[in-house]
Amino acid sequence: MQTSQPENWHGTTILTVRKDGKVVVGGDGQVSIGQTVIKSNARKVRKLGKGDVIGGFAGATADAFTLFERLESKLEQYPGQLTRACVELAKDWRTDRYLRRLEAMMIVADKDVSLVLTGTGDVLEPENGVMAIGSGGNFALAAARALIDSDKDAESIVRRSLDIAADICVYTNRNITIESLVAS
């Protein structure tokens, strides 16, 4: 019998690329429980706050929405300070008994910085402007790193890298969502 416990939730590929004054976050739309695709067109990348932050998540959807809400609250507390808001969220995530049980990871970006947030308190800035999470994250990350020095723009790199991840990872599909911001 298949259960919906967190270890049986596989989910997604989220990738961010920062290049030539633009930051792009993209993700696929597949939601799976075990070996079954439950939904193919989920929107796991969206604008947050007043539209000046992009977020993407991998993991349990309800948990990720809870974290997005908490991050938006922190962004209201610390306007224009994405890193500070993320550090404060990470502190809460590690110490709050309820939040500690949430099974999700997030990539967030504004015009200045891209970050990965995890439930272990990590707030990580990517090397070379490229970072990925989720079951197909390593595949997308490798593809994006290979393409970052090409003449492709950030969005083209994200699209091609997610396409490559979908070729390899059974928990990643080609129904992608892309959001972007002009970076500093």
Q: What Rg, from alpha-carbon coordinates, does the chain have?
A: 15
Map tokens 């976050």 to a residue. Answer: 25
Q: ω into residue 13 within 30 of 0, thus cis?
A: no
Q: Who's near 51: CB < 8 A, 6+ residues apart?
A: none
Residue 83 a catalytic site member: no
> Under a CB-based contact definition with an 8 Å cutoff, are residues 107 and 25 in contact?
yes
Report the distance separating Cα 144 and Cα 164, nearest Å. Answer: 10
In the numeric block, which tokens belong to residue 125?
């800035």
Q: Which SS3 state, helix, strand or coil, does residue 150 take?
A: coil
For the chain, how are helix, strand and coil distributed in percent, rounded to 5?
A: 35, 30, 35
Phi/psi at 182 (5° precision): -80, 125
* Active-site residue identified among 12, 13, 16, 177: 12
Query: Catalytic residues, which ones?
Result: 12
